[in-house]
A and B are shown apart, each in its own frame.
Chain A
């Protein structure tokens, strides 16, 4: 008994040490990025390496936001990602419902077809998609970019949402049907609340992925009005010069909306799948 107790204690301490080291390994690079945002170019590349910046001045942040209208770009990114995430979740939930819970034919084919856009390197899609957007007059618009990103991110959302829809026991839906609810009613009122944690997870995933997309906004939205953050971040560099401190400062500010969103949504994921089922 004594020994078992000791063992458990050791394994618990081991787990804590492991977790701390592990989390540190993940955070340290980010800390290094944050420190870079406060240094000037001389301190950044000092030899020997200078760990801490000599002052905590916000000069880099101010400069990063005056050289480029970053606030505008962050807003553009938020709009684009928000629109595409909402569209993807709506379209994706519908599709995954029918793929997971109805007896339609050709499910596997549809799933594989959907994957094709995920399977091709995005470069080959650039030219045709540019041509299309140009013909539709959607170049340099946030909505146009959002639509393209819907096409890019929809397949993975459908695949994941499908697995969540599959986990719902048939009994839940059947009891609703017995009460006389129509299919759209059961879908909205019963099934969606049950898979809510899954939907939140996929929302985070989609939002971050659309936010981080680089090559499509680069080519489709080159003008200032429609530029997004990822593209703008690379534009601090000149032909042969990279002001790493400005990029770090801008990147940190630009990741704040994402972090806020993650924090807000992940609480709802933590609340748990089964809680949702009970509430539903």
Chain B
């Protein structure tokens, strides 16, 4: 079969995806970008959107609240993605071992992911509640603490709680994808390396890791992008508090867009999220690039 025909077939196979893209994505994305250059809010919606150039962006860079939420979001993203990658890898290794009850353990590890975010947010605020939460109760019964820890009403602890809740929910995602990648590592390689006297750690870093790198990179990329847009969990658990210390960029955009009805500015914040995520994606794409040139 000629290469030419193969390429044609390649384009053909892309058509359904492009249709989905054109129908559902192109218009919303363009309209968001357009709105971000407009003054458009519900209070004056009868006058329609008026083009105001860069004014939303200028306002945005002078907006203290935007910077606070951006810093929080970046901190949150870095910490949670690192934690869930490490823990997800550990889970994947456990799941990949052959032992009695493996199926049960796998299912258990995946359970947190099956609980809708809204419910798990409620669950964590119930667990972390200062005076009737089970965590503080257990800690005080074990005599570890005297006064209740302010899991949700102290800025630093709130950060810890939100991270914990997010990692709990997303480790399963990571571990499932890493597991599927681990399955592609041939046992022959590992055995050969083991015969050469390579230790466990060396085998992991020199054989397993390079093999699972493409999937891992894509998984980390998507997790980074998703954490960067964290919203539901935080809204239920802290609603951005205390004192805005856990307000994420998406939450701020949402607040502007729907609560304040300031859709132009909300769109500008969304575009900011978009651009930062695009940079993240481009950065990770370098990681899978060599494969793309095949």
Residues of B95-149 contacting chain A, CB below 8 A: 95, 102-103, 105-120, 122-124, 126-127, 131-134, 137
What is the bound-complex CA distance between A33 and B134, given in angstroms?
11
B78 touches A (CB below 8 Å): no
Q: How far is the CB of A247 from chain B (nearest CB, A)?
A: 6
The answer to whether A183 and B285 touch across the interface, beta carbons within 8 angstroms, is: no
Q: Which bucket holds chain A's interface residue count? A: 35 or more
Complex Cα–Cα for A45 and B220 (A): 39
Residues from chain A with Cβ under 8 Å of B177 in the complex: 160, 201, 205
Interface string of A138-177 (1 = CB under 8 A from B): 0000000001101100101011100110110000000001
Would you give the 0/1 interface string for A41-83, flagging 1 where the beta carbon is closer than 8 Å to chain B?
A: 0000111110100000000000000000000000000000000
Please, which residues of chain A bring their CB within 8 A of the CB of B120?
29
Q: A32-B127, A159-B222, A208-B113 are in contact. Are A119 and B273 (CB under 8 A)?
A: yes
CB-CB contacts below 8 Å: A194-236 with B: 197-198, 201, 204-205, 208, 211-212, 214-215, 229-230, 233-234
Residues 245-277 of A contacting B (Cβ, < 8 Å):
247-248, 251, 254-255, 258-259, 262-263, 266-267, 269-270, 272-274
* A residues less than 8 Å from B107 (CB atoms): 259, 262-263, 266
Whether A19 is near chain B, meaning CB under 8 Å from some CB there, is yes
Q: Say whether A112 contacts B253, CB under 8 Å.
A: no
> Which chain B residue lies CB-closest to A204?
B176
- Rounded to whole Å, the gap between the CB of B273 and the closest CB of chain A is 5
Contacts of B35 in A (CB 8 A): 124
List of A residues within 8 angstroms of B243 by Cβ: none
A251–B112 CB distance below 8 A: no
A34: min CB distance to chain B, Å: 10
- Give 1 or 0 for each of A109-123: 1 = CB within 8 Å of chain B CB: 011111111111111
Cα–Cα distance between A110 and B111 once the two chains are bound (Å): 34
Kindly specify which of B53-61, B154-162, B225-233 makes contact with the partner chain. B225-233
Please determine whether B27 and A32 come into contact, CB atoms closer than 8 angstroms: no
Complexed CA–CA distance, A30 and B119 (Å): 11
Q: Which of B31, B94, B119, B254 is the one whose CB lies under 8 Å from A251? A: B119
B17 near A30 with CB under 8 A, answer no
Does A190 make an interface contact (CB < 8 A)?
no
- Tell yes or no: A27 within 8 A of B by CB: yes
Q: Which of A29, A98, A124, A156 contacts B10 (CB 8 A)?
A: A98
Rounded to whole angstroms, the CA-CA distance of A91 and B13 in the bound complex is: 8
Question: In the complex, what residues of A have CB within 8 A of residue B282's CB?
Answer: 112
Instruction: Please report which residues of chain B, range 1-56, place their CB below 8 angstroms from some CB of chain A when the two chains form the complex.
Output: 1, 3, 5-7, 9-14, 16-17, 20-21, 23-25, 27-29, 31-32, 35
CB of B56, distance to nearest CB on chain A (Å): 13
Say how far B274's CB is from chain A's closest CB, in angstroms.
5
Q: Does B194 contact A (CB under 8 A)?
A: no
Residue of A nearest to B279 (CB): A119
- Chain B residues with CB under 8 Å of chain A are 1, 3, 5-7, 9-14, 16-17, 20-21, 23-25, 27-29, 31-32, 35, 87, 90-91, 94-95, 102-103, 105-120, 122-124, 126-127, 131-134, 137, 168, 171, 173, 176-177, 179-180, 183-184, 186-187, 214-215, 218-219, 221-222, 225, 229, 231-232, 250, 253-254, 257-258, 263, 266-267, 270, 273-274, 277-278, 281-282, 285, 288-289, 291-292, 294
Q: Chain B: which residue is nearest A121 at the CB level?
A: B250
> What residues of chain A lie closer than 8 Å to B134, measured between beta carbons?
32, 49, 51
* Residue A242 CB within 8 A of the other chain: yes
Q: How far is the CA of A16 from the CA of B281 in the complex (A)?
A: 37
Given contacts A19-B94, A123-B254, A103 and B7 within 8 Å (CB-CB): yes
In the complex, besides A48-B137, A154-B17, A214-B232, 19 extra interface pairs with C-beta distance below 8 angstroms are A23-B94, A26-B109, A30-B111, A32-B134, A91-B17, A102-B6, A115-B225, A115-B277, A115-B281, A117-B21, A128-B27, A159-B221, A164-B184, A177-B1, A187-B13, A205-B176, A251-B119, A258-B114, A273-B183
Q: Residues of A at under 8 Å CB distance from B? A: 19, 22-23, 26-27, 29-30, 32-33, 36, 45-49, 51, 90-92, 94-95, 97-104, 107-108, 110-125, 127-129, 132, 147-148, 150-151, 154, 156, 158-160, 163-164, 166-167, 177, 182-184, 187, 197-198, 201, 204-205, 208, 211-212, 214-215, 229-230, 233-234, 242, 244, 247-248, 251, 254-255, 258-259, 262-263, 266-267, 269-270, 272-274
Contact A102 B7 (CB under 8 A): yes
Is A112 touching B266 in the complex (CB atoms < 8 A)? Answer: no
Complex partner residue of B186 from A160, A229, A259, A274, CB under 8 angstroms: A274
- Chain A hits for B115, CB < 8 A: 30, 33, 251, 255
* Structural contact, B11 and A29, CB atoms closer than 8 A: no
Let me know if B10 and A103 touch, CB within 8 A: yes
Least CB distance from B278 to A in Å reads 6
Given contacts A22-B90, A119-B274, A269-B183, A94 and B17 within 8 Å (CB-CB): yes
Q: Is the CB of B168 within 8 A of A26?
A: yes
B257–A123 CB distance below 8 A: yes
* Nearest CB of chain B from residue A175's CB, rounded to whole Å: 13
Q: Which residues of B have CB within 8 Å of A23?
A: 94, 105, 108-109
**Are A118 and B222 interface neighbours, CB within 8 A?**
yes
**Closest A residue by C-beta to B217:** A163
User: Which of A117, A166, A184, A267 interacts with B103 by CB under 8 Å?
Assistant: A267
